[in-house]
Structure formats: C-alpha cells, structure tokens
Amino acid sequence: MHTTRRDFLRHVGLGSTLFGLGGFSSTLGFAAEPTGKSLPRSLPEAQGVSSPKLLEFLQAVETSKLNLHSFMLVRHGHVVAEGWWAPYSHNLRHTLYSLSKSFCSTGVGIAAAEGKLSLEDKVTSFFPEDLPANVSPNLAAMQVKHLLMMGAGHRGDSLFGEGFSVSEKN
C-alpha cells in the first residue's frame, strides 16, 4: 500500500497520540518494537524527542513540498520515527544519486576520528596493487580531502566540458 504525504502525517500524528494511550507500532509513524535485524525502536519522548515538535517538523516538510522519499529519525541509537511517501516504500530500491556521498563522507569522518586515516593521506596509498603502470602527477598528488571536495584532479569541470577551468567558474 502506498501512502500519501497527508496520510503519512496523519499516521505520525496518530502514532504520537496513541503512544500516550499505550503504544503504537507501524512503519508509518513511530515504531516501538524492533523487527528482524533492524535498529531498535523507541518512543520519541523516551529518547528526548518531542512528538509534537516532530509532527511540526513533518508538517513543515509537507508545506515546503520538499518531495522526500522517506524519513527516519534515530536518536541515541533508536528509531523514534520513520515513514515513506508514495510511490516509495521501505522495500523499494531506487537510485540515490548524490546521497551516497553523504554515506562515504560520514564513513571517512569516522575513520579519521578513529585515527585510521587522515584527510591529507594520498589516495594512492590505499590500493597500491590497483595503480596504473604510470601514475599521473594529478593522481600522485590526490588526497582524501580532494575526493571529499569532489576536486579529484580533472583539468576542467566535466559538467561544462573540456577546457572550462574550475578556477574560471569561480
């Protein structure tokens, strides 16, 4: 079953109301029980989140017409709210486009905080067996921070075609 944004908001509002009456478990709103190997679920207030403020946020998203595919709020390792807008659902795989950069940069940030790498590390140091026979000066100079900034050594901005210098764009 697909849910409209309005239905999603209604379910979230209903979920926060029903929590006060003893609990509510649904993938359309607040989920109090974990399912399978998923993250644990919790009531929003049990994790320091105001249900009315959460509903206010979701209503602002709706009013702004942000066209979200889904929403999940995790606090202290517990999911306190989740839902999907039609035609999306929890089991529908679809292209994430640039969202994967957020996951990668988060992973790099965690690895850097744990001392496993530095933003100044040369990219060539990570996969020496996969390097081309002739390493170009750009590749030799490339650091982790360049990948995170999407400044990975192209002579020009590939969006605008060859010959368009990144410095000319600024």
pLDDT band, residue 24 (cuts 50/70/90): very low
In the block, residue with structure tokens 């210098």:
165
In a domain, 91, yes or no: no
**For residue 118, pLDDT beyond 90:** yes
Residue 108, pLDDT score: 95
**Residue 20: which domain range?**
5-84
Residues 32 and 78 in one domain: yes
Number of domains in the chain: 2
In a domain, 32, yes or no: yes
* pTM for this predicted structure: 0.50
**For residue 78, pLDDT beyond 90:** yes
Residue 67, pLDDT score: 84
Residues 51 and 12 in one domain: yes
In a domain, 169, yes or no: no
As given in the structure block, the two tokens for residue 132 are: 């081309």
Residue 158, pLDDT score: 59
Higher pLDDT, 27 or 127: 127
Residues 78 and 111 in one domain: no
Residue 35, pLDDT score: 52
**For residue 14, pLDDT beyond 50:** no
pLDDT band, residue 110 (cuts 50/70/90): very high
How far, in Å, are 118, 123, 135, 148, 149 from residue 131 at the CA level? 20, 10, 7, 20, 22
Please answer whether residues 146 and 124 qualify as being in contact, where contact means their C-beta atoms are separated by less than 8 angstroms: no
**For residue 85, pLDDT beyond 60:** yes
Residues 78 and 108 in one domain: no
**For residue 98, pLDDT beyond 50:** yes
In a domain, 28, yes or no: yes
Average pLDDT over residues 37-50: 92
Neighbours of 80 (CB within 10 A): 23
